[in-house]
Structure 1
Amino acid sequence: MLDADSEVPARLIDHLIELRSRLMWALAGLLLVFGCLMPFASELYDRIAFPLISQLPSGQRMIAIDPAGGFFVPVKLAFFTALFIAAPWLLYQAWAFVAPGLYKREKKLAAPLLASSVLLFYAGCAFAYFLVLPAVFHFLTKFTPESVQMAPDLGKYIDFVLVLFLAFGASFELPVALVILVLLGWVTPKQLTEWRGYAVVGIFVVAAVITPPDVVSQLMLAIPMMALYEAGIIASRFVAPKKVEATPEA
């Protein structure tokens, strides 16, 4: 029989083997999606660039300052798109690794939170692409002087778009963050309601910091975040720990 001292290293080795297996499956899924997207990297970039190209004068295009930018930038976009698409698979591998160590109640709460966080991140990115980017580029091109010809670099453009996607995707996680804070007992739904005024000010400050320096994008981030804050308050009321009242002794 194995003694207690030998069982601990054995369990540790089992966990390391399981971790390696999950990492390999996650990497294999990511590389598979990336390989499928690579032949369409140029078309993918054209689609991502459409919100800006549609606002430029007819016949005007982007430029590539870096001689290799025309190749590496679409490849970079294909990789981040693969990461975006494979996110549920990657999170599933992480969940499969940690789930056996969770209690039944923790599993019951963690699974909806994980699914909600993925859906909200996707919703934030979609909101940025279909609504924010066209509005921002329309605003910027309208205020560009006639004597200035806009010729954006394709590398800087994709960096700008990826940062905007990350900002909106992360900001849309606000309801999940509030629910987690309530579950941890750090705040209560009542406190979140009372702090609504401070939250609005904080939301506008965050929107001003992480968005481009224009009023349009700031408002288009701040307004959904205020609605998501209210949604977080409502959701937190369903998961808030119930207080157990002490019964008086006879």
Structure 2
Amino acid sequence: QHSGHFGNYAPNPALRLSKLLASMKDDVGRVIIPGFYDGVSIDPATESILKAVPDDEAQIKDRLQIKTADSVGRYYQEAIQYPSLNIRGMQSGWIDEKVRTIIPGWARAELDVRLVLETDPNRLINLVKEHVASQGYFVLDREPTKEERLAYDKIATFTHEISYQSFRTSFDSPVGIWLRSALTKAFDESPVMIRMSGGSIPISPFVTTLGIPAVTVPTVNRDNNQHSPNENLRLGNYREGIKTMLAILGEKLN
């Protein structure tokens, strides 16, 4: 509706959505929905693995063009050991050349949750849904009717799907030892071992259904701009990737 006619009178769904999303995290980026991080802990052995990764955090911040990182973890590797709650997109109204001076009729956001092995996706979905309800929203899994709009001050349509379960293979497992041996032989130095890495990869159903171990071996450059404009792969990484795969395929698994 026209903002000159109904501004200061009709509630703005974009503003309400922004407040709802802001209620899910604190000012340093930690999810404040009770129980979201339950089950995740960093013991001394795990911490030694994380700190052995030679990350240059100043370089990471420079690449991301940020001054201060979120404080879910004390450093980058620790941060990605926890499940994440990310706003991957928002929509409401029109801007720029399509601008209209209106109060939007709706606002929409899509979230993604990056899982870790210790987190159950259904539990996290329920936690987020319960949080929405706790903020005073009448929660539906469909569009509300006119009668429902007139009966409730705040209404949220909440839908979800589970893409992939998380998996993790120990470095000390037979597969971990086999992989480390193959890469060490190929490059005459021990590989960098990263305990967790975020990504939606289609091998997860095989791991969770068949109960088999799996590992991922990144071969791309850090500045490859995944899922973004100018996604790229440096030729040096392409050649190293070939060498890496040959080494893995040629190593016998005891």
TM over 0.5: no
Q: TM-score, normalised by structure 2?
A: 0.34
Q: TM-score, normalised by structure 1?
A: 0.35
Identify the structure with bigger relative contact order (alpha carbons < 8 Å, sequence gap 6+): 1
Give the helix-richer structure, 1 or 2. 1
Give the strand-richer structure, 1 or 2. 2
